[in-house]
Amino acid sequence: MLKALEASKSNTMKEVREIQNETKLKTIVSNLRHDLSQVQSQSTEYKHEIILLQEQNNLLQSKISRSQQERRSMERDSRATLSLVRSMDNHVTLDTQFYKNKAKDLSDRLQEQQVMFLEQKGELEKLKRFIERGMSQNELERYRNRMV
């Protein structure tokens, strides 16, 4: 009986140890499940943050792309404007030169006409003087023949 009691005590001790071990394991499993739940929750939060960051990244990339396109467009416009300004400067220079030459030609023609006018005015005054002196018709004809 003592042996049976000893065996029973030994079995009971084994069972108590097994129950303690089982309780410890259940506690560990419970803690692990809780940790797993927290990790899964954090994982979900991180996935959500990743999605938000990817969306922000896409928005920033599209803004960068638009900015680059605008910059290229502005550079093209700037080059076109500079080209137009140079072209206009060239045309203005050519037009200015043309009108300067035209003004010089007209000035030369005006001077020639003024000289001719003064010569004709002088001749007219000579004719008036001849008439005033009472020059005869024959003298007047001879004078005109000399002028032609």
| pLDDT on residue 93 | 82
Position 69: which residue type? Q
When pLDDT is cut at 50, 70 and 90, the band that residue 132 belongs to is: low
- Give per-residue pLDDT as tens, 62-95: 999 999 999 999 999 999 999 888 888 777 788 8
Entry pTM? 0.46
Beta strand segments in the chain, E: none
- Residue 48 CA to chain centroid, in angstroms? 38
Of residues 122 and 5, more confidently modeled: 122
For residue 1, give the DSSP letter: -
> What is the Cα–Cα distance from 15 to 50, expressed in whole angstroms?
50
> What is the Cα–Cα distance from 135 to 140, expressed in whole angstroms?
7
**103, 105, 127, 107: which is closest to 115 by C-alpha?**
107
Whether the pLDDT of residue 134 is over 70: the answer is no
Written as six digits, the tokens of 50 are 């990743």
Using an 8 Å Cβ cutoff, are 145 and 135 in contact? Answer: no
